[in-house]
Amino acid sequence: MRQHVFTGFGFGPIQGGLFASEAFQSGNFGRIVVAETDQELVDAVRANNGTYFVNVAKAEGIEVVKVDDIELFNPNIDDDRNILLEALSESTEITTCLPSVSFYTMGDNNVALLLAEGLRSSKAAATVIYAAENNNRAAEILEGAVTKELSAAAGNNVQLLNTVIGKMSRAVSDPAEIEKSKLTPIAPGAKRAFLVEEFNRILVTRCTIKEFEPGIGVFVEKEDLLPFEEAKLYGHNATHAMLAYLGMAKGYRKMTELKDDADLMQIAAKAFLNESGAALIKKYCGLGDELFTERGYRSYAEDLLERMTNPYLGDTTIRAGRDIARKLGYSDRIFGTMSMALEYGIEPVNMAVGAAAALFQLLANPEQNNLPEDLFFNDRQELSAEKIQELLIWLWGGYGGQHREKLTELVHQALPRLKALLTK
């Protein structure tokens, strides 16, 4: 008997290609409802009788998955809002798949407010809420916002769970790419197509609600997600970004083109295994988890390097490397990985090459990256250690960090290796 009700916020590729899709395929949900403010998208799926399509990039090609019986509602329309609140009051599983945690409280009909209203009149015996935003405290931030709206705690029968989602995905809106890659649009009349990779090993915080069995049963529960969040940020995300910057520096447009560049792939593999991996294994080997062993992390890295360059995923170096200034933050993927490596006595000389390539891209588009005019530098290949440090201090908001000098030195020392790569 179907006893679960699912409600999601945001109908993007992670919601459509993961959560709602898994809810449908499980067969455990009597209703699958999604809140989406893009009325054109809502109308397209409604006109298709609640059916939408997901393009899944496998190693051998693209498979189109059909998902039925989805109800889409726009919370900014009164009638839709009322239906959403009814669904939320019955929901056993809720997901938020939004661009960032800042969207929790954005707008008159924001997620925190709607969740609070739904929970206030809840008829469900228990409810879990998956926060799928790219923030390792997303669940706590959402819980704080909902608690503020409720003026009380959510209750013992409600639990907000963090997630670690290593599934690469995107919404393709370029008509030429949709046609060339033979992608199926989300629904007839929709101008986008969901394109997601096949990988589906999603980690979530362990649910502690007594006797609650989630309708979506494919997720892997962990007592503490922080080690796995760091593996994603300092392993997956860091290597993905450095490959993009190295690829851009060599003039590659597509991530799959890097697959045949042995020099770039070797640098990325060494950074992934010998710097990120070695540091993470030292830090978390006491957990007893297979990931934080030499064999487990090697398998993780090799699988990801293959997936990052999957030709059917159609990823571009520009997309993978976008938002350079944020990704070069002191604690973010590139320098966060380098700092962690230094903490454990490892010199991240390979990740430093990726950092140098990222600075090249930053300087190549100074206005686009909001670089102050006094930091513009035309001859990127002649960057001095002093100039690198000035750039890093600007990127880090004036915060030098304890490894500032060493990070500057490593990037400066990496320049000859980067130049040699670019001349091959």
For residue 303, give every residue at least 6 positions away whose Cβ sits within 8 Å of its Cβ, in sequence order, or none: none
Give the pLDDT confidence score for residue 8 in this predicted structure: 98
330-383: per-residue pLDDT in tens? Answer: 999 999 999 999 999 999 999 999 999 999 999 988 778 788 887 776 665 578
Instruction: Please give the average per-residue pLDDT across 157-161, as a whole number.
Output: 95
- The pLDDT confidence band at residue 189, using thresholds 50, 70 and 90, is very high
Hey, how many other C-beta atoms are within 10 angstroms of the C-beta on 267? 26
Give the model's pLDDT for residue 381.
59
**Burial (Cβ within 10 Å: 0-12, 13-18, ≥19) of residue 367:** exposed
Q: Which of 187, 180, 108, 94 is nearest to 143 (CA)?
A: 94
What fold characterizes domain 227-422?
A: N-(1-d-carboxylethyl)-l-norvaline Dehydrogenase; domain 2 (1.10.1040)
Q: pLDDT confidence of 1, banded at 50, 70, 90?
A: very low
The average pLDDT across 409-424 equals 93
- At 259-310, the pLDDT tens digits run 999 999 999 999 999 999 999 999 999 999 999 999 999 999 999 999 999 9
Is residue 52's pLDDT more than 80? Answer: yes
Task: Give percent of the chain above pLDDT 70.
Answer: 98
Say what the pLDDT of residue 378 is. Answer: 64
Mean pLDDT of 34-61: 97
Average pLDDT, integer, range 81-109: 96
Q: Note whether 74 and 42 are within 8 A (CB).
A: yes
Q: Do domains 4-223 and 227-422 have the same CATH topology?
A: no
* pLDDT > 70? residue 74: yes
Q: What is the pTM of this model?
A: 0.91
Q: Where are the domains of the chain?
A: 4-223, 227-422
Homologous superfamily assigned to 4-223 = NAD(P)-binding Rossmann-like Domain (3.40.50.720)
Specify the residue for token string 């915080």.
Answer: 205
